Amino acid sequence: MGRPLRSALDDIFDLQDRITESVVGAITPSLRRAEISRAYAKPTESLDANDLYLRALERHYTRQLPASNTAVALLQRAIQIDSDYALAKALLGDVYAWRYAAGRGDQEVERANAISLAREAIASNRDDPDTLRYAAHAISYFAQEHEVALSTLDRALRLNPNAAQVFTIAGWVHLHAYDPEPAFDCFERAIRLSPLDQEMGTMLWGVGFAHLMLGHNDQALDSIRAAVRAMPNNSTIHRALAFALVRVGRIDEARQVMSRALQLEPDWSLARMSDPWRDRAFGAEMRAAMFLAGAPE
């Protein structure tokens, strides 16, 4: 006759308890180490500085001038509170890059500040993908240090191989370096990883520019139109669409698009146009296309 049912159940529950104890005993030290690592990796000890950063980030993503001005002020305050706050420094450099592209602010002062901030953020050795991607974008855009930027982004991807926005910035760095094929790969990876990303317009715009560099003009138009739909209030993407329309000879439509861009950014002119491209001929073509589309000098 077998053992009593109660005894067998007691053995099962006892085994479950031992398994639970073993699992908890094995996991707890790892969790504790992870918590310690997170504590050391915190971008700042100041809750006030961190709050300012988060508020600035929200405004930065609107890509609107008043919000951009506020983002700059918030990040400057965060850095005043914590002078070692690498994430805030890197984001401020990225904000300056987007402002420069839109023709906003004191461009030369902001350019110099952005390069300095990006270098400080990279030199801080913070193992934080966001810090690294913001800094890489600024150092590529303003200083044309594309290899430094790509090395910085490789470091970010080792930390988080599935970071869609790191791939987005990597795509743009490849475009700045006039290397469209790897740019395609980066943007496609970003879109697959984050198909509902708030930066989708930036991804599609990058795909469009890669097509332009390769002479795929119809595909470029499709991608940049999709980017405009994703970010309809972004004047820089409208100007990119005007460029693509000039490329295919649709000048009247390009002028309509440029008119919309100037409604969004009335102070923009060719004198405030950025030129981050390694291939000078590409930048010159873009400038000529903007003029043909009706951009003021």
Give one DSSP letter per residue of the chain, joined into a string.
Answer: ----HHHHHHHHHHHHHHHHHHHHHHHHHHHHHHHHHHHHH-S-S-HHHHHHHHHHHHHHTTT-HHHHHHHHHHHHHHHHH-TT-HHHHHHHHHHHHHHHHTT-S-HHHHHHHHHHHHHHHHHTT---HHHHHHHHHHHHHHH--HHHHHHHHHHHHHH-TT-HHHHHHHHHHHHHTT-HHHHHHHHHHHHHH-TT-TTHHHHHHHHHHHHHHHT-HHHHHHHHHHHHHHSTT-HHHHHHHHHHHHHTT-HHHHHHHHHHHHHH-TT--GGG-----S-HHHHHHHHHHHHHTT---
Q: What is the pLDDT of residue 143?
A: 94
Tell the residue number behind the tokens 């820089």, with chain if given.
236
Looking at residue 61, its amino acid is Y
Tell me, what DSSP letter sits at residue 272?
A: G
Say yes or no: 59 and 155 in one domain: yes
Residue-range definition of the domain harbouring residue 284: 195-297
- Per-residue pLDDT tens over the stretch 222-236: 999 999 999 999 999
Convert the pLDDT of each residue in 13-31 to its tens digit: 566 655 544 444 344 344 3
Question: If phi over 0 gives left and psi between -120 and 50 gives alpha, with beta otherwise, what is residue 103?
Answer: left
Computed over its alpha carbons, how large is the radius of gyration of the chain? 24
Q: How far is CA 103 from the centre of its chain?
A: 19
**Summary mean pLDDT of the chain:** 87
* Rounded percentage of the chain residues whose pLDDT exceeds 70: 85
Tell me how far CA of residue 219 lies from CA of 165, 179, 210, 258, in angstroms: 23, 17, 10, 20
139, 161, 183 - which closes a domain: 161
Residue 26 counted as domain residue: no
| pLDDT tens figures, 203-225 | 999 999 999 999 999 999 999 99
Residue 23 is predicted with a pLDDT of 47
> pLDDT-derived band of residue 248, with 50, 70 and 90 as boundaries?
very high
| Residue 125, pLDDT above cutoff 80 | no
Q: What is the pLDDT of residues 86-115, one digit of tens each?
A: 999 999 999 999 888 877 778 889 999 999
Last residue of a domain, one of 161, 176, 210: 161
**Are 201 and 123 in the same domain?**
no
CATH code assigned at 226 = 1.25.40.10
- Both 229 and 281 in a single domain? yes
Q: Based on the domain organization, do 114 and 208 belong to the same domain?
A: no
Say what the pLDDT of residue 68 is: 86
The total of structural domains in the chain comes to 2
Which of 138, 161, 184 represents a domain boundary (last residue)? 161
Q: Of the ranges 94-108, 231-245, 275-289, which one carries the lowest mean pLDDT score?
A: 94-108
- Tell me which of 196 and 7 has the higher pLDDT: 196
Residues 225 and 117 in one domain: no
